[in-house]
Structure 1
Amino acid sequence: MISLVQLECFIAVAEELHFGAAATRLKMTQPPLSRQIQQLERELSTRLFDRTSRRVTLTQAGRALLPNARRLIDLAAKAVADVRSVGQGAAGTITIAYTAMAGQSVVPDLLRRAAAELPGVTLLLRELVSLDQMEELEKGTVDIGLMRPLLARPQISTRPVYRERLAVAVPSDSPLAQREGPLKLIDLKDEQMLMYSPSVARYFHDLLLSMFVASGVHPHIVQYAGQVPALLALVSAGLGFTLVPESAGRIAPEAVTLLPISETDPSSRVNSVELDIAWNSESHNPLVERLLSLVDDAHDEE
């Protein structure tokens, strides 16, 4: 039977792609690590890694196992934390999923409030794209999600918690970065655009299209990416421009400049990025309501 130790070892090697580095990370020597991987491969009757003297790569089977292994480890950690909290008379555990940008805007203040008002609560944090958050909420492996608005699903409740505008991200050495004052989207009509993937980041993809339609501009899209950090990396490489939430300025590389979009631009009527808090209305975790109250309190103080 597969053990959690085997899965921990597998995850470490899969993420490091180096047995020596994985062994150091797990504070063990390489031979017992190799034995754990060999036992796991025998248990599954399949090879998980292709190994040569120069490199380690995941097989197709290994790539299929990795997300499930991470999920099992998360569930095991949550189970241990739940039992430990009950045994210690603590308040319990709540799992919060968030997008990369929510980690810059909403999560820090929420964590400060939780630490002050719910000191006995164990918070398990997971960074997930919005679609994955919705699926985890439905399965009950996540209690609270901080995500972009998605189509409603049965038993999942949502409400907005944060709103901001989009800005234009351009390479710092580009002529656009030297301009003074806000930009209009028409200023970008001859520039190469880096776009959000419609399958991974549907919310941003559709929002940007609606803004360019409102401005009467047909963007020249040259590449797609799924998340804000990836798009910022492409901009820093000089491959084009993109639109990102203004809060992305906190994580933008030095080679990227963020420029505001003029409020007189026709796209201003739809230039609003929303972040929702979501939860399963059938959840039996009493901490969900307590955390929602913390979010409400934060809004009342604004």
Structure 2
Amino acid sequence: MAYTLEQLRGFVAVADELHFGRAAARLKMTQPPLSRQVQKLERAVGVQLLVRDNRRVGLTAAGQVFLVEARRLLALADSAPEMARRVSSGSSGVVRIGFTAASTYGILGRLLNALARELPDVDLDLEEMVTREQVAGLAHAEIDLGLARPPFDQETFASRLLHREAMYVAAPAGHPLLSLDREATAADLAGAPVVMHSPTRARYFYDLVAGIVPVPQESIVHTVSQVLTMLWLVAAERGIAFVPASAKRLGIDGVGFVRLATPVPEPVELHLLWTRDSANPALWRAVRVLEGVAAMP
């Protein structure tokens, strides 16, 4: 047999007052219906919760334990409507964010701080993903928001340019490229061994580099998907690598940087990405906050 919230409230009132008359007055009801509520609750629970006679009312040992849980259940029931309203408005809830590893070197921390400041009751779940995985995760509702590289299907996804940065060449300490007093050009890089971006797991950077600097296949010594791994390989003198400006913040010993000459001064783009038909109210609040961050200089 199930019990009701009214029965729980009646029991708590009696437990607080230790008097049926005072408890009934507190609940703005008469004593007989309150007595019946408590009796029905005891039958539903299957144990005696109160000891009562003509002179006093007391709690049994089981009643003392049940009182703690009854208060907790009533508190949850009382807070549930407000919680539902907050989730519906986007003030509470969860936003699952996919991000590329390279975005953690620069802007991700600033975005998370802005969300924590403006939406303190929204939980943020983070998942490191390359752009291809983010697109799939958004399409299958496994994440709500991506920090990804273009291009995107504009019919399915909405996006906002979040950040632009320059492209640099990372080279081992002492490499002649690091002595240039100007930007490096394709001619400067001819014949150098290259640690290249993976054409499948880092397709954005692979295509970006290929559009700027012809890299002969015989010059590629390794292909990897993460910028940090590239820099470790550069530090081991396996070759040079093409990385976004934010990679300089990693401070890997034995690696220097020179800016790459590019047709567009800051060709590396990072976008906010979300599905146009998302049903998560907290997402829309998060997007508004992050669009404000994107608009900041």
**What TM-score range do you get, normalising by the shorter chain?**
0.5 to 0.7
Distance of 2:152 and 2:120 partners within structure 1:
34
Measure how far apart 1:126 and its partner are: 1.1
Q: Give the equivalent residue in structure 2 for 1:199.
A: 200
Q: Give the equivalent residue in structure 2 for 1:141.
A: 142
Measure how far apart 1:281 and its partner are: 1.5
- Asked which structure has the greater RCO (Cα within 8 Å, sep 6+), the reply is 2
- Do the aligned residues in 1 keep the contact of 2:197 with 2:224 (CA within 8 Å)? yes
TM-align CA RMSD: 2.3
Distance 1:144 1:296, change over 3 A: same
Q: Give the equivalent residue in structure 1 for 2:130.
A: 129
Distance 1:99 1:190, change over 3 A: same
Q: Give the equivalent residue in structure 2 for 1:239.
A: 238
Aligned-residue sequence identity (percent) comes to 31
Q: Give the equivalent residue in structure 1 for 2:189.
A: 188
Distance 1:258 1:122, change over 3 A: same
Distance of 1:268 and 1:115 partners within structure 2:
37
Q: Which runs of 4+ in 1 moved over 4 A?
A: 85-90
Distance of 1:93 and 1:275 partners within structure 2:
23
- Do the aligned residues in 1 keep the contact of 2:161 with 2:294 (CA within 8 Å)? no
Distance of 2:265 and 2:132 partners within structure 1:
22
Distance of 1:301 and 1:154 partners within structure 2:
27
| Cα-to-partner distance string for 1:167-226 (whole Å, 9 max, x where unaligned) | 00001132322343332221110211111111111111111111015xxx7572222111
Distance of 1:289 and 1:101 partners within structure 2:
25
Taking structure 1 as the reference length, the TM-score comes to: 0.65
Mapped pair 1:248 → 2:235: no
| Cα-to-partner distance string for 1:235-276 (whole Å, 9 max, x where unaligned) | 1110000110001111141111111124xxxx4248601111
Mapped pair 1:105 → 2:106: yes
Distance of 1:181 and 1:291 partners within structure 2:
41
Q: Give the equivalent residue in structure 1 for 2:158.
A: 157
Q: Give the equivalent residue in structure 2 for 1:93.
A: 94
Distance of 1:260 and 1:201 partners within structure 2:
20
Identify which of 276, 283, 286 aligns with 1:288.
283
- Do the aligned residues in 2 keep the contact of 1:171 with 1:255 (CA within 8 Å)? yes
What residue identity is the alignment partner of 1:139?
H
What residue identity is the alignment partner of 2:257?
L
Mapped pair 1:223 → 2:222: yes
- Rg larger in structure: 2
Q: Give the equivalent residue in structure 2 for 1:274.
A: 269
Q: How many residues align?
A: 212
Q: Give the equivalent residue in structure 1 for 2:173.
A: 172
Of 147-156 and 247-256, deviating more is 147-156
Distance of 1:218 and 1:198 partners within structure 2:
14
Q: Give the equivalent residue in structure 1 for 2:69.
A: none
Equivalent position SS for 1:191: coil
Equivalent position SS for 2:182: coil
Q: Give the equivalent residue in structure 1 for 2:13.
A: none
- Do the aligned residues in 1 keep the contact of 2:244 with 2:268 (CA within 8 Å)? yes
- Do the aligned residues in 2 keep the contact of 1:211 with 1:270 (CA within 8 Å)? no
